[in-house]
Amino acid sequence: MNALRVAIAMTAALLYGLSVHYLNRIPRTSVVQEMQVALPRFVQVGLAGGDRYLAANIDGFRALVASTDRMQADNFKIQGRVQQDVAWLNPAHEDNYYIAAAILPWYGEVDAAQDVLLRAIAARPFDWQPIFYYAFNLYYFKKDPVSAAQWLLKASPRATDQNDRFAIENVAARWFEKGYEPRVAISVVESMANQSHESGFKRYLKTRAERLRVLETLREAAIQFHSNTGRPLRELQELVNAGLVHALPVDPFGFGYVVDKDGQPILLNAPHRRPK
């Protein structure tokens, strides 16, 4: 009997050891407990004793403490849902829109972030930053510089600091340049200049409009060059050699004009920067 017990114990120990060894070899997915499930909103409010603002704070805390380095794609979808819930329960929640802007778009949840930011924009008329983040997402993730610039112009009147207003309008002017053909961009930037009450910034915008006029001239010449030669432009000097422009233009900002890979003249907005 004792021998049998010993044999059973040894067999159980062996099986346990083999099981542990086998289980340790199975790949395990990191689990983020904070973002495993999103409850229906009425349940969240009920659990918070009927206080929607408390429910929003609880959800906001979940988003705040979640460890993004261990999160999977499904976790970020749930976080987007949770943060949208916060925005519905308390659209003015400041931490919520900050976290949404800083995390969600970079992990594929752009639409969820935009929903949170839109609600914050409506609920916080004194705050220009949700508009800025919303515009940035349009520019960077949605590849829509024109809409992004239009939204930025809505942020400018909310900024109480004059330097913030200038910075916002400057970025908007650059995004309009990227999104519009030069002729349309010129009218937009000049309109911004005419509405500016600060003489130095008005001159700055006028200068931006002037370099756009030069760009328009270069692009028209490049089109003519392509028509005459049957090939795209390779460098700006070819326009001078062909007699299509009198001389290479001087950029009033000192950055210059170059030809991109498609043979189209473009603006440089930083020194020593060349298109690939």
- 3-class SS string, 142-154: CCCHHHHHHHHHH
Q: What is the pLDDT of residue 98?
A: 86
pLDDT, residue 53, reads 78
Tell me what pLDDT residue 46 has. 77
Query: Hey, which residues does 266 pair with through a beta bridge?
Result: 258
19-69 confidence digits (pLDDT tens): 555 545 655 444 445 445 567 776 777 777 778 878 777 777 776 666 555
Distance (Å) of CA 141 to CA 101, 106, 146, 186: 12, 9, 13, 25
Contact 225, 235 (CB under 8 A): no
Helices (H), the chain: 2-25, 41-47, 52-65, 73-89, 94-103, 110-123, 129-140, 145-155, 162-179, 182-195, 199-229, 237-241
Cross-strand bridge partners of residue 258: 266
The torsion of the CA quartet 157, 163, 167, 170, rounded to 10 degrees, works out to 80
pLDDT at residue 28, as a whole number:
47
pLDDT per residue over 236-251, tens digit each?
A: 999 999 999 999 988 8
* Cβ(79)–Cβ(103) below 8 Å: yes
Residues 159, 175: Cα–Cα separation, whole Å: 19
Q: What is the pLDDT of residue 40?
A: 77
- What one-letter code names the amino acid at 182? P
pLDDT at 250: 87
* pLDDT beneath 70, residues of the chain: 1-38, 42, 63-70, 269-276
